[in-house]
A and B are shown apart, each in its own frame.
Chain A
Amino acid sequence: MLTFTIRRLVLAVPTLLFISLVIFLLLELAPGDPMAQVPLTVPPEVKEKMREALGLGQPMHIRFLKWIVQFFWIEPQILIDNIFGTGFADGKLRVMSWQTRSPVMDIVVQRIPQTLWVVGTAYMVGVLIALPIGIYSAYRQYSIFDQAGTFVSMIGFSVPPFFSGVLVIVIFSVNLGWFPSIYDTTHKVVDWDSFVIQLRQMVMPVMVLALQITAQISRFMRASMLDNLNQDYVRTARAKGLSEYIVVMVHVLRNSMIPVVTVIALGVPAIFGGAIITEQVFKVNGIGQLLIGAIQANDLPMVQTLTFIFALLIVVFNIIADVLYGILDPRIRYD
């Protein structure tokens, strides 16, 4: 198991390097000039200097190497400096945003808590709703509850977040006036009242995201429970007189959770990607919104770093899912 984990981690390095190269080349080969917004009255030699100030003067491979070094070597040092108060990275060049002229990672660190609050809560709520639905749908297969669950998850699959989001805004914000339609990111939780306000503004984005998550996870849970309910060990457990609750909730559930846990792990990066749209609908000031803003402002270092962070999440959670699968299921042997 340990060798497998190490092998996967080692294999992840070329994958990540390749992905960063793909993103870099895509941004590089694309037409579009970061100097396009500069007025025409600026003389060409000044433009050339501005170009060099942005780091565009050097050939392509040098800039790629520089980005790699900055992202993988200097940024972790900054992190260590911030935690332990050391001075490894003093005076070293960081990945700078063209838009704000500040380090990209500083902005990302500012934005991540908003995304994590909304996405994290939505994921937990979604999973907590999905598991009981999946278990009960499988236990009473083809019952009315099961049919309704199938229908609801079909709706969860089919209604895109930019429609369900707008729909809940119309219903709960415009017509009923229960919740604010815009997520206020400057709001600070200090006491009970402000916590209630925070809860109220989180309800709608969480609802929209949780619908999608519930739809997927409950399907997986149901399928996995159905696979296990007909196994021989279940009949044995019943035959030796265990109560129905113990049979289903302990024996079957524990075995059914194995694939579901990996699916939950695999879904985390997808949710970060999908939250881009939800963040846009509710004006949550998170990393998805940051990406859209950077794309519109032609801020290539920011776009590259953010896209790479999304890729990093996918690769990391793939490894986590694989390793979890091996740990949870002793029948799986990777070597």
Chain B
Amino acid sequence: MTDDKRFVPDEGLAPASSALPGAAGPLQETGPPPRNKWLDVWDQFKHHKGALYGGILFFAIVLVVFLGPLVWPYDATYIDIRARNQGPSLSHPLGTDQLGRDTLARMMAGGQTSVSVGITAMLLALFLGSLVGVVAGYFKRLDGILMRLTDLFLALPLLPLLLVMVLLFRDSLNAAFGPETGIFILIVGAIGVTSWMPTARIVRGDVLALKEREFVLAARSIGTRNSMMILRHILPNVLSPIMVSATLGIANAIITESALSFLGLGFPPDFPTWGRLLFDATDYLQQYPERVFWPGLAISLTVLSVNYLGDGLRDALDPRIRGR
């Protein structure tokens, strides 16, 4: 795409003539300046309609969930027992639950937890994965041992282990940090520790290829240290796979957290998350089937939007596809 623009007819030939010795006149601009890589990425991203709408939807969900409680009059924990089990109405658009708490307020509060768990766990997994991937790809001596470690982690049965971890460490962390922070740390830590492996593998592969490139050789020949080499030259170039795994990581973390809450091993009952709301609503499945619908829809829509976002990012960040 950039090359096409630079060779617009009457400007494309200008530099050659002005570069000739003896050619008079001031040097002319050689077409538009080289475009920023991220502008190209954005151009390609815009063409992927699903990704664009997915991104918009995801940011809308995040905005509503975090800013909604500021304008919404009801508190998520406010109990109004006389208004319990109500259907949708003007004051409670999604109805109320068995204790008269407003479902919309609880959905927003639950969304805050679910989205924060998703993003924090993704950041942790991304950090671990990039660290292992870069170190394994860059330092040959550590490659074997780190990749065996990754293989071992991939062979662990993750959901059972997560359940065991949550059950076993819940009480001690609760005692140390209080019930809400403790379980937050536990779930984020557990999901992060068990989902860094795909990132590590992808990053390692890219680093291995980058290490053989000329610019790395050039940087090394002027005496760049390893730490600088990784920060300046390697990391910016493996940013694309990291960003793609980031989106997939959010989706994965949100689903895992909801699954744990759904199995009753996640956040405590008075602390709503989408998974917990779904779990509570299944008790009233016969009487109020619509109650399971909202949290389930929220989880599915968030994950769907993030997945589409990741799909579009993958296409936009891949220079082989970009510009087609």
Contact = CB atoms under 8 A, between A and B. Distances in A.
Contact of B155 (A154, A162, A295, A318): A318
Contacts of B171: 31-32
A202 to B, nearest CB: 20
Interface stretch (B122-130, B208-216, B258-266): B258-266
A274 interface: yes
Interface in B237-252: 251
Contact of A314 (B155, B255, B275, B293): B155
20 contacts: A15-B152, A22-B152, A22-B156, A23-B164, A27-B164, A154-B304, A155-B304, A159-B304, A160-B258, A160-B296, A163-B296, A175-B289, A273-B157, A273-B160, A280-B262, A295-B164, A295-B265, A296-B167, A310-B157, A311-B155
B263 to A, nearest CB: 6
A257 interface: no
B296 A30 contact: no
A174 interface: yes
B157 A314 contact: yes
A183 B258 CA distance: 23
Given A158-B300, A280-B263, A19 B156 contact: yes
A306 B163 CA distance: 12
Interface string B280-324: 001001100100110011011001100110000000000000000
A196 to B, nearest CB: 25
B87 to A, nearest CB: 16
B142 interface: no
A26 B263 CA distance: 20
The 5 closest A-B pairs by CB, nearest first: A30-B168, A310-B157, A163-B296, A158-B304, A158-B303
Contacts of B255: 160
Nearest to B173: A31
Given A158-B300, A163-B300, A311 B156 contact: yes
A157 B304 CA distance: 8
A273 B159 contact: yes
Contacts of B293: 167, 170
Contacts of B164: 23, 26-27, 30, 295, 303, 307
A170 B155 contact: no
B160 A291 contact: yes
Interface string B148-166: 0001101111111101110
B278 interface: yes
B259 A162 contact: yes
A310 B160 contact: yes
Given A32-B168, A169-B285, A315-B155, A159 B300 contact: yes
Contacts of B286: 174
A269 interface: yes
Contacts of B154: 314
B177 interface: no
B172 interface: yes
Nearest to A147: B50
A51 to B, nearest CB: 18
B169 interface: yes
Contacts of B296: 159-160, 162-163, 166-167
Contacts of A313: 157
